[in-house]
Amino acid sequence: MKIVLVGTAYPLRGGIAHYFALLYKNLSIRHNVEVVTFTRQYPALFFPGKTQEEQLSGGVAIPSERLIDSINPMTWVTAARAIARKKPDLLIFKYWLPFFGPCFGAIASMVRRWTGAKVLFICDNVIPHERRPGDVLFTRFAFRSVDFFIAQSRAVERDLKAFWPAARCRFAPHPVYEIFGKRLSKSLARKRIECSDKRVLLFFGYIRRYKGLETLLHAMPLILKRLSVTLLVVGEFYEDEHRYRGLLKTLSLEKHVLIRADYVPNDQVGAYFSASDVVVLPYRSATQSGIVQIAYQFDKSVIATDVGGLSEVVIDGVTGFIVPPNDPSALADAVVEFYQKKLEKKFERGVKKEKPRYSWNAMVQTIEEITQGKPGKETRGRQLQPSKS
């Protein structure tokens, strides 16, 4: 097939760009693939981070054309014309935020009309956990031009069926990231990140309210009553950093929590995961998290909350623990049990056994099956009008 990927790609940064790079490389083994990405992904006013582009050695370089300004409809037309000239059989979009619904929907509609190309959305979310005005309208507009959907979790699959009952959908779990290098020994990794503590927890990724860092911080005093441990908080703050640092003082955690408040380049990610004993995802709400797939790359177990599709990937008692959300006591108990029962090696074996389910080959196969009419388990709701909820 001639395939065009449309969305976030190098030199833009972040998990979606990493995902597109790996999808490009794996699809290209059997298909002719090109990438069209953004000149501007977010207006500066709406972007809480420091920069939207990779710096220095960061990122996975793939060839792409930068044609789309997310808030300039004229560029949507220009991009659609450029894509149409490529005569694609299939357009693939990664859909995670309704903000992009108008842009993606317009491009998909034009290319579909001009060329007859099919359109596939790979969905991380339908309506996200942090809802904003226009989410339903923008998503409905985008979905009208979609022929096929792939849901990256069963939770998203359920949301999609409820919101868009006529969707032709397959489930394919988020593959494991394979771009952050090899696992290091703990001693070497801790030396590199300048953390020599005996027990290390890792909270990794952008800090936003729904990710529940506050719950983890409230769990820390309960953990420290029973054992000594250091929490590494690694990621860029997308909300008020001072509030969290104030909480550290209130809870007397300054000596037990190390904050590295910045975006982490790809070549440094592995050191943080390799240095940790277990990764903690105390989310208040979620559909899924790519952080689990990074942890699994390094054979690290995960303690996560029972929200969205996290319990589909983190197998309780096998690859980590699942605990209730917004419950510092339950989170603390899980951390203490992990150490007191010396579960790291057991869970590591569970991760190694579970990890092959999340392969890029399986993802490519699912794309081929649903778009080429090959046998496979396709889910489809009743032929109804889209939900108005």
32/156 same-domain check:
yes
pLDDT at residue 15, as a whole number: 80
Tell me, yes or no, whether 77 lies in a domain.
Answer: yes
pLDDT in tens, 312-358: 999 999 999 999 999 999 999 999 999 999 999 999 999 999 998 99
pLDDT in tens, 84-142: 999 999 999 999 899 999 999 999 999 999 999 999 999 998 987 667 889 999 999 99
**pLDDT score of 82 more than 60:** yes
138 and 198 belong to one structural domain: no
Q: What is the CATH number of the domain that holds 226?
A: 3.40.50.2000
Residue 181 resides in a domain: no
Q: Is 311 helix (H, G, I), strand (E, B) or coil?
A: helix
Task: Give a yes or no: residue 270 inside a domain.
Answer: yes
Which tokens sit at 221?
């005093």
Structural domain span for residue 17: 2-175+359-379
165 is a domain residue? yes
Q: Taking a C-beta distance cutoff of 8 angstroms, is the pair 316, 348 a contact?
A: no
Which tokens in the block code for residue 93?
């979009």
If asked whether residues 150 and 237 sit together in one domain, one would say no
Residues 214 and 126 in one domain: no
If asked whether residues 347 and 368 sit together in one domain, one would say: no
Task: Give tens-digit pLDDT for 289-305.
Answer: 789 999 999 999 999 99
Asked, for residue 388, whether it belongs to a domain, the answer is no
> Do 210 and 302 fall within a single domain?
yes
Task: Say if residue 201 is in the same domain as residue 322.
Answer: yes
- The verdict on 121 and 252 lying in the same domain is no
- 24, 175 contact by CB (below 8 A): no
Q: Are 249 and 263 in contact (CB under 8 A)?
A: no
Same domain? 12 vs 153: yes
* pLDDT tens digits along 30-57: 999 999 999 998 776 655 555 545 554 5
The model carries a pTM of 0.83
* Separation CA 69–CA 72 (nearest Å): 5
Domain identity same for 132 and 35: yes
